[in-house]
């Protein structure tokens, strides 16, 4: 005979809250119901292992069936099942966890593998259902039970004719939630949330040729020594839909002081001009929790792709967010350490591969240093830059001697570290530097302007960066500079009205008539404005360094006044072209002057 009762809750207002606000995303209900089914099978397997139950002939599995005509979604397992007493205890007493009870009882026998932590997971189905039925039969042989409720605090429970062991959940979906009956939608959600659950999951099974939607033996759960390179690459392609092979990977596998398994992949950089966000999938006992949870995965590691499974993650009631506790911080710290250890291992044991991969790795490593001081301390000795000869060197090899505390207080700065941000645009300077026996670091990455500022902050008494065109180094000059004042006046007159300072220097090489210098501080301010797309006039203060050693410049002194102006302007524009693109009005002026020079040359012939 059927009987009725009230679902036992601490407040009469709890059911509406559960139905509408328990989870951040409605689709999570499918994860919770399937995870409960997986728990039911795991419990039975544990009882079989300890001799308290007998195994049947049918393999363990979970089936998900959608009936669009009836408007129902059914999830069925052949696990432990429930008696009427257990249904009353674990279903009607909201927030009492059957998983916790089972784990406590079988702790000594080893209760690993139980997914569920909370009794509220079942009720997530009411976010999409008007009514839910449970048909369940316990392994113990107790009579089968039918439970039904519309989620309004009342339920009905009675015996039923279910003959096979296990539980069948029938969800009568609300009219506005019928998209969850579409096979494509269900397959997408099952692959998202249940890809690595330990029992085969079948969607709308039709016969013996059915294939499960999940992988019951994921690579990350294996021992690293049992995995081949090809298996790592295949897992990467299938999990992240990236058909480019990863650079390399880190297989995480530990049991103490917390359980943590997973694989982190270093992908090839697709675009140098932006920091591409990767996808680190977080699992708890094979159940997908979320992508890129910053409490467990430090922000800079989110540039990687990977799978992390940590059963010891302290989850709240919906499994959707992490509680920020010391255990979580330890897990995050361990993951960061393992990444740094892998990079150091590659640097020491396979330097060629490390250098060949640096173009893809550098953005991630530099971003990690900026975001995490501890990571910087671990990898600072293996941060490399290419020099003007094309050789990779540790960044510290470019540094000079550290200045004293007294010198620092007096405002003195360490020896400059010159760098190149664009080898094509700064080719003139590179040529002069090489001829003078000087070297510089090539810092042409998207993140490099921020990274060199960070290095200056971390090493204020050891390093100060100057772009190769920020100032003329003393080693490039030939002293003294004769008739410099006269030449400066020629250029100042020709360039009157332009925002440019003129300085004459006698350089060792006469090949270049003039170069443009921009103060390092003002140039960085201009770059910052450009990076953040801030409006306003150019912040750059240009200095034109006129090379007195150049035969072209020497000839200006004896030239006529009109010719001086034309040639001085052309020298200025040529120097400007080596520094940046000309503006529309500058192009017009440059072209007109060029035409005048050609005309005068032809007239003299």
pLDDT at 319: 47
Least confident of 250-254, 351-355, 565-569: 565-569
The answer on pLDDT for 100 being more than 70 is no
* Domain ranges, ordered by start, for the chain: 3-203, 219-357, 383-468, 477-518+539-604
Separation between Cα atoms, residue 203 and residue 180, nearest integer Å: 13
What's the whole-number mean pLDDT along residues 235-253? 91
Least confident of 29-43, 178-192, 372-386, 476-490: 476-490
- Residue 31 CA: distances (Å) to CA of 6, 184, 191, 389: 27, 16, 10, 56
List the end-to-end C-alpha distance of the chain, in Å, as a whole number: 120
What's the whole-number mean pLDDT along residues 368-375? 92
Q: With CA atoms as reference, report the closest residue to 454 among 544, 510, 373.
A: 373
pLDDT at 10: 46
CATH class of 3-203: alpha beta
Q: Which residue has the higher pLDDT, 585 or 346?
A: 346
Least confident of 110-119, 143-152, 284-293, 345-354: 110-119
pLDDT at 591: 82
Average pLDDT in the chain: 84
Separation between Cα atoms, residue 462 and residue 439, nearest integer Å: 17
The answer on pLDDT for 529 being more than 70 is no
What's the whole-number mean pLDDT along residues 136-150? 95
Give SS3 for 327.
Answer: helix
The CATH number that domain 219-357 falls under is: 3.30.230.80
- Out of 84-93, 191-200, 495-504, 556-565, give the one with best mean pLDDT: 191-200
Separation between Cα atoms, residue 247 and residue 257, nearest integer Å: 30
Report the percentage of the chain scoring pLDDT > 90. Answer: 41
Q: In this predicted model, what pLDDT tens digit does every residue of 414-439 receive, in sequence order?
A: 888 999 988 988 888 888 888 888 89
Question: Which DSSP letter does residue 60 get?
Answer: P
Rg (CA), the chain: 35
Which of 3.90.1690, 3.40.50, 2.20.25, 3.30.70 is the CATH number of 383-468? 3.40.50
pLDDT at 605: 63
User: Are 144 and 161 in contact, with CB atoms under 8 Å apart?
Assistant: yes
pLDDT interval class at 317 (50, 70, 90): very low
pLDDT at 152: 77
pLDDT at 11: 38
At the second CATH level, the architecture of 477-518+539-604 is: Up-down Bundle (1.20)
The model's pTM: 0.77
């Amino acid at each position: 005979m059927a009987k009725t009762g009230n679902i036992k809750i601490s407040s009469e207002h709890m059911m509406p809250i559960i139905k509408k606000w328990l989870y951040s995303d409605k689709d999570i209900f499918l994860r919770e119901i399937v995870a409960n089914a997986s728990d039911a099978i795991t419990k039975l397997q544990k009882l079989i292992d300890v001799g308290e139950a007998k195994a049947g002939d049918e393999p363990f599995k979970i089936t998900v069936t959608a009936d669009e005509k009836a408007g129902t979604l059914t999830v069925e397992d052949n696990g432990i099942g429930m008696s009427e007493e257990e249904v009353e205890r674990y279903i009607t007493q909201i927030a009492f966890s059957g998983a916790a009870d089972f784990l406590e009882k079988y702790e000594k026998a080893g209760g690993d593998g139980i997914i569920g932590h909370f009794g509220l997971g079942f009720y997530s189905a009411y976010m999409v259902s008007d009514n839910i039925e449970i048909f369940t039969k316990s392994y113990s042989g107790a009579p089968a039970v039918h439970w039904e409720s519309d989620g309004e605090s009342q339920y009905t429970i009675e015996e039923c004719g279910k003959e096979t062991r296990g539980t069948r959940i029938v969800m009568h979906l609300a009219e506005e939630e019928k998209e969850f009956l579409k096979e494509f939608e269900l397959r997408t959600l099952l692959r998202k949330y249940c890809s690595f659950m330990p029992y085969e999951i079948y969607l709308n099974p039709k016969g013996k040729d059915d294939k499960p939607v999940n992988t019951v033996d994921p690579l990350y759960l294996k021992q690293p020594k049992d995995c081949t390179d090809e298996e790592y690459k295949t897992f990467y392609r299938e999990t992240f839909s990236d058909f480019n092979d990863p650079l390399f990977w880190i297989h995480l596998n530990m049991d103490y002081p917390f359980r943590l398994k997973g694989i982190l992949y270093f992908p090839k950089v697709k675009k140098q001009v932006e920091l591409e966000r990767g996808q680190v999938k977080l699992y708890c006992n094979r159940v997908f929790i979320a992508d890129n949870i910053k409490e467990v995965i430090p922000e800079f590691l989110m540039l990687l792709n990977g799978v992390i499974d940590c059963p010891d993650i302290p989850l709240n009631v919906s499994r959707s967010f992490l509680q920020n506790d010391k255990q979580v911080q330890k897990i995050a710290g361990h993951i960061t350490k393992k990444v740094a250890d892998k990079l150091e291992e590659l640097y020491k044991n396979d330097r060629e591969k490390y250098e060949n991969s640096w173009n893809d790795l550098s953005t991630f490593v530099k971003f990690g240093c900026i975001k995490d001081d501890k990571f910087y301390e671990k990898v600072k000795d293996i941060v490399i830059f290419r020099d003007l000869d094309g050789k990779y060197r540790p960044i510290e090899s470019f540094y000079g001697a550290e200045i004293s505390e007294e010198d620092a207080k007096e405002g003195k700065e360490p020896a400059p570290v010159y760098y190149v941000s664009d080898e094509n645009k700064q080719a003139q300077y590179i040529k002069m530097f090489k001829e003078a026996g000087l070297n510089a670091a090539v810092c042409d990455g998207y993140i490099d302007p921020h990274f060199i500022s960070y290095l200056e902050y971390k090493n204020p008494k050891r390093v100060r960066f100057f772009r190769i065109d920020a100032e003329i180094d003393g080693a490039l000059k030939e002293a003294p500079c004769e008739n410099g004042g006269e030449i400066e006046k020629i250029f100042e007159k020709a360039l009157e009205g332009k925002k440019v300072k003129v300085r004459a220097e006698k350089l060792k090489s006469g090949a270049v008539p003039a170069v443009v210098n921009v103060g390092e501080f003002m140039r960085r301010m201009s770059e910052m404005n450009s990076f953040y797309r801030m409006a306003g006039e150019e912040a750059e203060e240009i200095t034109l360094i006129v090379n007195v050693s150049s035969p072209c410049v020497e000839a200006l002194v004896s030239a006529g006044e009109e010719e001086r102006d034309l040639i001085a302007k052309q020298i200025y524009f040529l120097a400007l072209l080596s520094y940046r693109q000309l503006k529309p009005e500058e192009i017009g002026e440059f072209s007109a002057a060029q035409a005048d020079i050609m005309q005068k040359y032809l007239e003299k012939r």
